Each structure stands twice: as structure tokens, then as C-alpha cells.
Structure 1
Amino acid sequence: MNSEDHAIIIHHFFSERAVPNIQYPVSSIRFLAFIIPLNAFMRPGKFIKRAVAVLLLLILAAVTWYAWLAFPAISGYGAKNLCSAVYLQHRDAGEVIKDDLAEFPLSLGSFSVNKTDSSVTGSVWGFAKRKAIFRKGIGCTLINDFTEEQVRSQPFLLPPTVAVNQDSLPWPQGDRIPDTISADVNKVLLQQAIDNAMHSTYKKKASETRSIVVLYKGAIVGEQYAPGFDKNTVQLGWSVSKSLTGAMIGVLVREGRLAVEDTAPVPEWKHTSKEQITIRQLLQQTTGLRFKEDYANPSEVTNMLFNKGDMAAFTAALPLKDSPGTAFNYSSGNTNILSRIIRHTVGEKLYPSFPCQALFHKINMYSMLLEPDASGTYIGSSYSYATARDFARFGLLYYNNGVWNGEQILPVNWVRETVQPSIADARKHYGYQFWLNGYEAKMPSRRWYPDVPADMYFADGYGGQDIYIIPSKHLVVVRLGLHTLDENKFLREVMLAVTRKG
């Protein structure tokens, strides 16, 4: 662009008119960068007005972009979780909105319960409406890119309800516990540890612990619930669900229907660069798929959970960011692909009842419920509901090396393999859908939980839903709540109670 063109640009800029059909090269941009301050000096009033207008337009564009991505997640999160709280937990809708959905940005949402069709609808200022529907036996499902009619018409052949009076059976087959506990347990110290957790704050926020169950050598030695919750209240496990999904993969491995070394049977990956991804890499979160697990901002995980009816298909279509097996990246999408693999492996007819018949009912977890996405695949990454005692039973299965009532439910070596990190996991803090007591990100020589033995591993969900398994201390500890607590401190205090006799 020559000096004459520069003159045209200057003329139009000062006259506040657009320059028609001119592409500005870098040289002209630099030229304008020099000239704009000169214009501001010569005509400061108009420049300020123009700058303010541009700034307001940029702010409006940013707000619009955020609303476009975030509002559906806010509406979907609130509608889905309120639906499950009302119809599965039998909680008061107003109390759930006040307690569980009160923080920003969820507080922007408005939510209403429709008892006529067992649904909950959410929106933000009337925009981005999302509806979640309740179906007996399978919980709540968010309606998004599937129609409500499509979802309601899905056949779901669930197993028959098991008629068991658990109060009459001893733990862990039932819920009857003895009046005395092991002499190895200092009851005063243990109760103090539980009380501290029940009333703890973490990062200037009340943790709102709702349930704690402590097992020592398989027996319940400590238990407490917040007001409104008890041993019969099912609670959301969030990503504890991933560990449940990993166990179901283990069942299929024991039956010889899957092998962790096999390439993952994902139809979309045939004849692509992703066809070499293995089941082990899905279990260990090393697939290389581009997936961002960020709940504070719009990301792949919020898009998947609140906008997509077929969550596994959404994740399977994502491109590779890294070569499979070379990088650790925690992803709910990987687990939902595993969940769909389970569906394809057992077949459509048996799939709805498979989790209960193959795993949960075998270990006396009769409260467990998994919720499906709109396509009918269980959301293996996130949506499981069970009592605190049933989550403890699941931890006890792993503590007992996959054996229950003398039956080998999981492969003989499954638990040992579960606690082995991938070579791609520099922190050594993840196994087969379980977290490990690996190393801190900023201090690679320091354990993640420095006061807890290295053999501790745990199922962990958003907000501090946890099943801690510490074999060397003979402990299984369940903690469920609304917000996280100082987990290292809590476990340290629990261990202190079982290393000193009362």
C-alpha cells in the first residue's frame, strides 16, 4: 500500500467513515497505531466516545458468547440435579434450590417442578430452557438433542426388585451392626475426627458434609449424617461413578468378553488414527483425545453433560490432541465411551439390568441407581446414586481384592492392576478409574496426601464425594457432601483413631 492509500485511510478514519474494499496490510496497521494517538490528541472527545462504544461492543460480545455457552449448562445442571434430588432423594425442591443451587452462576437459574409429568425445567432469565424427566427405576434424564418422546419411548428392561429386609441381616450382607466395635479403635478419637469433618470449612467455605461411614477390617466403626440425611438416603456420587464403570469393565474382563490390551471397540474409530486406542488407555485416561474437564467454564465436559444426548458419540468424535498412551488427561468422556462399550458388549436386551445383576446386587448394593443419557447409555462418568453404606460396600469389594461372600466378582489381579499408574502419568496418581496417592504437581517428591500411606487409593467425585481405601490401615472411609474438605487432615485424624487403642 502506497502513500496515497495511507492518505485515504487517514481521511476516512478522521471522518469516521468506513474504508471500502481495502485490506489493511501490516504496514498500514502499524501506521494507524501511530496515527490513532495523534487523532486522539486532535479530537479527544470523539475518540473517547468511539473508544467507549468499541469497549461496550466488546463487552456485549463477550457476555453474549458466555451466555450462549454457559446458560444451557446452568439450566441443564440445575434441572437435572433438582429432578434427581426431588424424585430419587425425596427432598424438598425449595431446600435443594437454596442449598445445592444457590452459588453463582447456578443462582442465575430459575427452576420449576412439574409433578404431573415428573419433570423439572430450568432456564436463565427465560433463555436456554432445559427439561429433565424422571422415569421410575432409571432416575432423571436431561432432554437436549433427543426429543422427549424419543427418550420416554425407550425400552428399559430392569431387573426385578430384590425383596430383602436388610435390617435383619448382619453387615455387610445387611444393615444390622453390632453394639461393640474392635478394641483397636479409639471411639473418642474417631468420633472427634467425624465431628470435625461434619462441621469443617475448607477454603473459607462450609464443606457441608452429609454422610460419613468408616469401616475398619470390614466392620462399620463410625457413621454420622447431617440433618435431613440418613442411612437410607441415596446420594449423588458424581465421578465415583467412574470407579463403578471401571469395576463393570473388570467383570467383563473376568468373563473373558473384554481384555484391557485390546483396541477399544468403538465403531467411529475404525480406519482412523484413533483405532489403536486400547481399553487400558480409556481406563487410565491416556487416550490422547482433546477433552477439557473444566466445570467452572464452558468446556467439553459441560457441553457433553448438558447439551449432548449421546455422550459417548460426542467424545468419540473429538480429535486427538496427543498420541494414545503418551499423556494423562482426566476425562469424563473416556468413561462414557467405556460405558457404551459395556452396552455394546452385553447387548441391548441385557444392558439395562447388567450393572445390578453382574455387580451391584451381588455385593448387596440394592440402593444403587445409574442414570442414562438420552441415548440410553448409562452416564458412567457422573450420575450414580446410592446410600453411603452401599458406597462403603463397593469400597469393601476392592479392599477384599474383588471377592464377596467367597465369590470372585472381579478378576484375581484386577485390584492390583487398578492401583498401577500409566507410564504417561508423571504424578503416578491415577489407575483404572481410581485416583492414587501419587505426587503433588508443584512438589513432585511429596505425596498428594502426605500424611496418608502410599497404598491409599480412592474413588473421587465432584464436591468431595469419596470412597477412600487404605489397605495398610484396614480402612474404608466414605465421605459425601456438597463441598470438599481437607481430606489429608480428615484421613490423618481417622487413622490416628485406629492406631491407638481406646
Structure 2
Amino acid sequence: MKKSTGSIFKYSLLFILVAVLAYGVRYAWQAFPIISGYSAKMVCSCVYLSGRTVASVEGEELGNYPLSLAGVSLNREDSSVTATVFGMAKQKAIFRTGLGCTLLNELSEEEVRKQPVKLARVPAINPDTVAWPMGDLLPDSFPAGIDRQRLRDAVQYAFTEQDQEKKWRTRAVVVLYDGQLVEEKYAPGFDRHTRLLSWSMAKSVTGALVGILVKQGKLDVKAPAPVPAWRSVKDGREQITLENLLQQTSGLAFEENYSKATDATNMLFRKADMGGYTAEHALKDKPGSVFYYSSGNTNIISGIIRRTVGEDAYQAFPAEALFHKTGMYSAVMEPDAAGNFVGSSYMFATARDWARFGLLYARDGYWDNERILPEGWVQQSSTPVSVAPKGEYGYQFWLNAGKPAGSGNRTFPALPADMIYLSGHESQMVMIFPSRKLVVVRLGQTAGSNWFDTEGFMTRVLAAFP
């Protein structure tokens, strides 16, 4: 007996509805915890570290779909933020003084709060009374040869919205010339004391911490990476070197994609031990043969740093070995629930402190007559990995070298080929131009990855200098 056309239509419609419902449930199951995790962590850090209001974070960082689906609740009594999506997928982030915010994943709040905190002691100084760059006291003199009006116009360009549908939302710009701070500007609600998020600029700081341990003779970049999970395996991961991790050539099958639920989003918003999670991934390519940018590689490095330094010294290590030596007193690296610094993504510092970090590399790793980074480390960091298509990466640093070297086949063809830079989501950048004695910081909240006109901005800045 044949089914009627009406019956076939009804069954087809039912099938489509069931398929759509199944897809929706699957999407919710995968995406909602990431949306709520991102929202809880972002509000927590921006409120407790940056001093912003919940409303400002909801309007900007969480203003676009699907992040706008999250409902956020701030609890001042226990210094936490909780987020849900339609009342589901509850995620909580907690603030701890000196450590910033941590998203609670796979471990209970009690377990995380019981973790010992052993921070570095902050020197009792007033930065406003200490000369730049170790402090914030600026000289009255101004370097000769700079077109000050052109420089101001160039900086203003970064703050001038070109398209109301694709806002740049620049929040801070700092310009150093020959080590001297020659220009800075902030958006309303932000100033030189505001800590701002690194996103992936944190990777370059993690690379510097490796350099310090190399200088101390505790790490060898050419040796197999000291990862416990790889010691007894014979699947190729035991061949991954620390240099492979630094150069993003580990070969691990890790997907760096933030538009959906992937390895990267699950790592950041659902896992307690981010580096351990990544280390469990299988090998996709022979180590050293393929360049693939991965936040997971950097979080494996964070775990290596922790085991190398030791538990008692780990939390204080970034400040004692790097931040306090360079006047970066605002800098905070945030840990995951297992206590590892999220070296791929979560560091907060003022724009001036980001400029100080750039200046350290501009000075070949020297600061106040002390060698912070080992001899040759800056050169190694700015040497392109051979398999990078545009010669665009070194040791956790982005490069503008081109491939072949100095060719037009580079990320920013109009900018100098010796430019090296820190780069993070939403167009966070610290750009270093050794040949021009320049360090330029640009921080903001540019929702589109290619919306901000980095090349146009920097071309204008460069034109103001001799």
C-alpha cells in the first residue's frame, strides 16, 4: 500500500525537525559550556584585575552573538563570577589576589582554593618617583628629530573609528623611541594604571621565561621536551624537542579554531590541566616538519617551566626572574585550575609594562646592565623557523621577515622586515623595530581578526621618526 503525498511530507517534516533538534542539542552540549566559561572568566578578570564594570564587559567583550547568550552574576563576597546560557552549562571563575582569575574545571572550588599561594614580594617603591623605564617618572626633554604632531596624528588614527559596524575599540597606545616614552594615549575609562589582557601575547612572555631557564642551565631547547607523558611512549611524541614547541612545529594533532568547539576552546574553557590535556594528543606530523600555530604547545611549555622551577618557586618565578627586574609590577599571569600558568593566553599588564617587555627584546635581553635573557636568545627568537610559509615565526614570537628573507612575501609588506612582534586576539600587539629604535604597543577590543589597520597605523607612526 502506497503512502499518500501528505504522509510523506509529514514524515519528511518530522525527520527534519528531529534532525534540527538533534543538531541543536549537540550544539548546546558542546558550545554552551564554552560560552559560559568564556563569559565567567572574562568578566572575572576584567572586573577584578582591570577595575571595570560588569556592564562594560557585557557590552563589549560579550556584546556579540553567541557570547551575548550568557547570563553573568558577580559575587563580591567570594570574589567570583558565575555564568550560564539559558540557565544551563553553569561555569564559575574565582579571583585570588596575585593570581588573577581561574575558571573552575574538573576540580572542585574547594580543591582550587586550598592550593598554596607563594607569590613574590612586591618591592615597596613608588614608581612615580623612579625614572623610566624602571619607574614611571618621565624626563622633561624630548628626543630631537621626531615630528611630534605627525606622531600624535598617527596615534589618534588608532583611536578613530573608521567603520561603526567594525569598531576598533583601541584602548591604549604607547610609543617608545630609543628607550624613551614619547607618546601614549588611552580611551575613556582606561589609563596607564589599567591592566589589559594579553591573549596570545602571553606566548612571547612564556618564551622569555624559557630563555631565562636556558640561561640558568636548567633547560636545553635542542633536547627532547621534558614531558612526563612522553617519556615512555614510542609513538613519535618522544622526539618532540623543546625547540619544536617554541617554534610551533610539534606535529601534535591539535586544532586551533575558536569559531566552534575544538581542542583550543575545550582546553581553555573546559580543562583543569591545559598543558596535560594537549600532551595527550596524538602525533599528526613529524616533529619539526610542519608549522602549525597552537596554544596547546605553549601550555605544554608552561608545564615544563613549572616542573623545572619546582612547586615552591613556581608562582613567584615570573615576577622574580622577569617582571620585577624590568619594572613590570602590574603583570599578572593567571593559572588554570591545576595551578599551571595559562602561558598561551592569560596575562594582564598595563600598556607601559607591555612596552617594557618589548624594550627588553629591543635591548637584546639586557636591562639596567643586567643580562636577563641569555646571549643570542633574542636572535634565536627572531630567526624564522624554516617551515613557516612566510618566515613569520620564531621562538613564540611573530616575525615580519618574509620567505625568502626580506622578500615581499610577508605579513606586513609595507613595514620593515626586521619587525618582530607579540600578537594576541582582538589585535593586541607589541611591535619592535630594532632598526628604527621603536617599540609600539596597541591594545584594544577589536572583535574582527583583521579589522584593525595595523599596517596603516604603523606606517603613520614610522613616518614621524627619523
Please give the TM-score of this superposition, normalised by the length of structure 1: 0.89
> How do 1:343-422 and structure 2 match up within 5 A?
343-422=306-385
Partner amino acid, structure 2, of 1:375: A
3-state DSSP class of the match of 2:203? helix
Partner amino acid, structure 2, of 1:403: Y
Moved more, 179-188 or 361-370: 179-188
Instruction: Report the CA distance between 1:323 and its aligned residue.
Output: 1.0
Task: Say whether the 8 Å CA contact 2:422–2:429 is kept in structure 1.
Answer: yes
Moved more, 412-421 or 267-276: 267-276
Instruction: Report the CA distance between 1:295 and its aligned residue.
Output: 1.2
Task: Say whether the 8 Å CA contact 1:420–1:431 is kept in structure 2.
Answer: yes
> How do 1:27-426 and structure 2 match up within 5 A?
43-201=4-162, 204-272=165-233, 273=235, 274-426=237-389
For residues 224 and 179 of structure 1, what CA distance do their matches in structure 2 show?
Answer: 18
3-state DSSP class of the match of 1:128? strand
Instruction: Report the CA distance between 1:76 and its aligned residue.
Output: 0.4
Alignment of 1:490 onto 2:457: yes
Partner amino acid, structure 2, of 1:65: R
For residues 242 and 431 of structure 1, what CA distance do their matches in structure 2 show?
Answer: 11
Root mean square deviation of aligned Cα = 1.4
Instruction: Report the CA distance between 1:99 and its aligned residue.
Output: 2.0
Residue 466 of structure 1: which of 411, 429, 438 is its match?
429
Superposed CA deviations along residues 448-476 of structure 1, whole A, max 9, x for unmatched, are 10110100010011001110001111110
Q: State the 4+ residue runs in structure 1 displaced beyond 3 angstroms.
A: 200-204
Instruction: Report the CA distance between 1:204 and its aligned residue.
Output: 4.3
Superposed CA deviations along residues 419-440 of structure 1, whole A, max 9, x for unmatched, are 1122221221011001111459
Task: Say whether the 8 Å CA contact 1:202–1:485 is kept in structure 2.
Answer: no
Superposed CA deviations along residues 398-451 of structure 1, whole A, max 9, x for unmatched, are 0000000011100110000001122221221011001111459xxx95321011
Task: Sort the Cα spacing of 1:308 and 1:121 in 2 relative to 1 into closer, same or farther, 3 A.
Answer: same
Superposed CA deviations along residues 170-216 of structure 1, whole A, max 9, x for unmatched, are 11011111233212211111111111101234694110000000001
Please give the TM-score of this superposition, normalised by the length of structure 2: 0.96
For residues 292 and 457 of structure 1, what CA distance do their matches in structure 2 show?
Answer: 25
For residues 61 and 439 of structure 1, what CA distance do their matches in structure 2 show?
Answer: 47
Task: Sort the Cα spacing of 1:445 and 1:399 in 2 relative to 1 into closer, same or farther, 3 A.
Answer: closer
3-state DSSP class of the match of 1:231? coil
User: Which sections of structure 2, spanning at least 5 residues, go unmatched?
Assistant: none
Residue 435 of structure 1: which of 398, 402, 414 is its match?
398
For residues 55 and 329 of structure 1, what CA distance do their matches in structure 2 show?
Answer: 38
Partner amino acid, structure 1, of 2:266: N
3-state DSSP class of the match of 2:238? coil
State the number of aligned residues.
Answer: 457
Instruction: Report the CA distance between 1:44 and its aligned residue.
Output: 2.3
For residues 453 and 160 of structure 1, what CA distance do their matches in structure 2 show?
Answer: 40
Moved more, 266-275 or 199-208: 199-208
Task: Say whether the 8 Å CA contact 1:89–1:233 is kept in structure 2.
Answer: yes
Task: Say whether the 8 Å CA contact 1:437–1:454 is kept in structure 2.
Answer: yes
User: Which sections of structure 1, spanning at least 5 residues, go unmatched?
Assistant: 1-10, 16-42
Q: If you compute each CA radius of gyration, which structure gives the higher value, 1 or 2?
A: 1
Partner amino acid, structure 1, of 2:428: Q
Superposed CA deviations along residues 459-502 of structure 1, whole A, max 9, x for unmatched, are 01100111000111111000000015110111100000113xxx
Task: Say whether the 8 Å CA contact 1:201–1:485 is kept in structure 2.
Answer: no
Percent same amino acid among aligned pairs? 49
